[in-house]
Amino acid sequence: MSKGRAKAPSQRQLRVGEELRHVLAQVLDRGELHDPAVQGTPITVTEVRASPDLKNATAFVIPLGGDAVVTDRVLDGLNRAAPFLRRILAEKVHLRHTPRVKFLADTSFDEASHIEGLLREPAVARDLKWEDDGA
């Protein structure tokens, strides 16, 4: 079985994901979630990816002051509260099937800072400068 290439998300997947992100961000910002693991911790919903059939969604979140302990605690709380959040999504987003939401930590900012650090290394910076001068 070959993996092939992953298909790019459709326009509908992107639109639904963005709508879900807005609703989740509003709920978390207003403090409507009363789980002790989540309460009092500002959380940013950076992205929501909807599956092609729109029955599942993955929400990427970052808690403020996101060290590993806080992130794990918040993710546990959000995944425990997923059925409650799904009910709120059903009320506010009108879809045939309300997606099941799974919460994951967003590591894209860590990856970006790692790449930036690599680009600032003297050997790499020298090569990049040489390419700019030679072009």
Give the pTM: 0.78
Q: What are the tens digits of pLDDT across the range 93-133?
A: 999 999 999 999 988 666 666 777 777 777 777 766 665 55
CATH of domain 11-106: 3.30.300.20
| pLDDT recorded at residue 1 | 45
- Does 134 have pLDDT greater than 80? no
Instruction: Return the structure tokens found at 115.
Output: 């790449």
Q: How do residues 3-49 score in pLDDT, each as one tens digit?
A: 556 788 899 999 999 999 999 999 999 988 888 888 888 999 999 99
Which pLDDT belongs to residue 116? 76
Half-sphere exposure of 110 (CA within 13 A, CB side): 8
What pLDDT is recorded for position 31? 87
The helix, strand and coil proportions of the chain, stated in percent and rounded to the nearest 5, come to: 50, 15, 30
Q: Which residues lie closer than 8 Å to 131 by C-beta, 6 or more apart? A: none
Q: What is the pLDDT of residue 75?
A: 92
Q: In sequence order, what are the residues at sequence separation of 6 or more whose Cβ sits closer than 8 angstroms to the Cβ of residue 78?
A: 33, 35, 38, 43, 59, 61, 85, 103
More confident residue, 5 or 90: 90
pLDDT at 121: 76
CA–CA dist 67, 48 (Å, integer):
21
Determine the pLDDT at residue 132: 57
For residue 35, give the nearest of 83, 67, 101, 106 by alpha carbon: 83
Domain range annotation of the chain: 11-106
